[in-house]
Amino acid sequence: MTIPNTAIYKNKMRGTVYVLNFIFALQMATVSYFGANYLKFLGLDTRYISFVYALASAVAALSFFVSSHIFNKFGAYRSVFFVAILYVLSYVVQALSNDISLVLPVFILNSGFAAIIVAALDALMERFTSSEQETGGQRGIFLTMASAAFVAGPFLGGLLVKGDDFKSLWLAAAAIFFPFLIISFWKLKKIERIKYKQFHLRRTVSSILNNKDVFNVFWAQFILYFFYSIMVIYTSVYLKESMGFAYDKIGLIFAFMLLPFVVFTVPLGKIADKKLGEKELMMSGFIITALSTLAFALNNSNSVWLVATLLFFTRVGASFIQTMTETYFFKLVDGKDTDLIGAFRALYPISSIVAPLLASPILFLADFKALYIFLSIVTLSGLYFSAKITDTK
């Protein structure tokens, strides 16, 4: 079957990708902020959880790099559908077993399954984007769908965890994700197979190093993802152990914290397309995120709303950075550039290898406050790379 090259068809398929992205993000948001607490429940010390996340991230990075090979061999639709089944089953295993020797490998493999799904959604989104001039707005909608899910997901997750019982959390994630299987089978199975660029390490590294704009936006994205990695892995544990918040309060804090991604993403994407370009907004985002992270590190109050407000402003800045890095990068590539797209997406698992390995010695020698001060400094370094990109306006 040949894909009709019409605006109506692209709009319909893009709508399907938006819905799939929302479902995927909702189930991930429901569990992601509680993963470290779950590993503690299984008996791992906080300082050693870092190494589990590093290994899971290495699996995810490898999955991003081989995703184009998998898509070419089996087709994007078949690959995603089969991996999605494994993804659901991984949640069922975690719900039904507390045997750490079984659950840990499944927990780690789950990251690889997620990476392949993300790579496929990215390729489909880029394939059905109307034009480079519309990238910011349409990527903004794509990100906002995920962001809306990430507002609801942590709140739901906080309600599902009762004491140290995580069974309901994993079963809920499996149930939430199940419609992904139905919609992908119904809507994607007739999409024509295309040839994706195979990932080639030397060629991809050369493409990044030889284009200063690609190089700088890669670094900006890496720093943002480093920030996310530290926040996702450690903040729930910090709020539970050091500040004494219950899981339902933590879920409420995270829901409020993530609102900026819903509020700002689409307007920012349109502003980048039509008015300012990406550079100034990206730089502003790094400043806001770094300063608010420092304020969070220095805060000694256990007021729920003060903590939520400080974390909210970290995400105001992060929403600026994320929308601008996504918009800028996807103006530089097209849907067949799966090698560069895969490398760009692999920045998250790569940062999630680096972040816990750097965080672990800090937690051995100091405490969470020192970790967040360090994070604010790292985040501020993003100014250097965002200042060097060639603005599109």
The tens place of each residue's pLDDT in the chain, 393 residues long, gives 444 556 677 778 888 888 898 999 999 989 988 998 899 888 888 778 888 999 999 998 888 888 878 888 887 778 888 999 999 999 999 999 888 889 999 999 999 999 889 888 877 777 776 555 555 566 667 777 887 888 888 889 988 987 778 999 999 999 999 999 998 888 777 666 666 666 677 888 888 899 899 999 999 999 999 999 999 999 999 999 889 899 889 999 999 998 998 888 778 877 776 777 788 899 999 999 999 999 999 999 999 999 999 999 999 999 999 989 988 888 887 656 667 877 887 888 889 899 988 998 998 888 899 999 999 999 999 999 999 998 766
Token pair belonging to 90: 């991984």
Give the C-alpha separation, 163 to 248, whole Å: 10
Q: How far is CA 354 from CA 222, 225, 349, 358, 359, in A?
A: 10, 10, 9, 6, 9
Among 49, 156, 62, 141, residue whose Cα is nearest residue 104: 49
Closest Cα partner for 235 from 55, 46, 33?
Answer: 33
Q: What is the pLDDT of residue 198?
A: 65
Contact 180, 323 (CB under 8 A): no
Q: Element (H or E) spanning 351, and its range?
A: helix 338-365
Q: How far apart are CA 177 and CA 207, in angstroms?
A: 36
* Residue found by looking up tokens 């500040």 in the block: 243
The pTM assigned to this predicted structure is: 0.79
Q: Which residues contact 129 (CB under 8 A, 6 or more apart)?
A: 10, 14, 135, 138, 139, 330, 335
Token pair belonging to 24 = 């995927």
Cβ neighbours of residue 179 closer than 8 Å, sequence gap 6 or more? 23
Q: What's the pLDDT score for residue 221?
A: 96
Instruction: Give the integer Cα–Cα distance in Å for 233 and 226.
Output: 11
* Topology of the domain comprising 7-386: Growth Hormone; Chain: A; (1.20.1250)
State the pLDDT at residue 123: 76
Which tokens is 122 given?
Answer: 């990215």
Distance from C-alpha of 326 to C-alpha of 125, rounded to nearest angstrom: 12
* Residue closest to 268 by CA, chosen among 224, 313, 221, 320: 320
Q: What is the pLDDT of residue 79?
A: 84
d(CA 263, CA 268): 9
Residue 2: predicted pLDDT: 47
Tokens of 99: 């045997």
Distance CA 376, CA 365 (A): 18
> Cα–Cα distance between 241 and 369 in angstroms, integer?
13
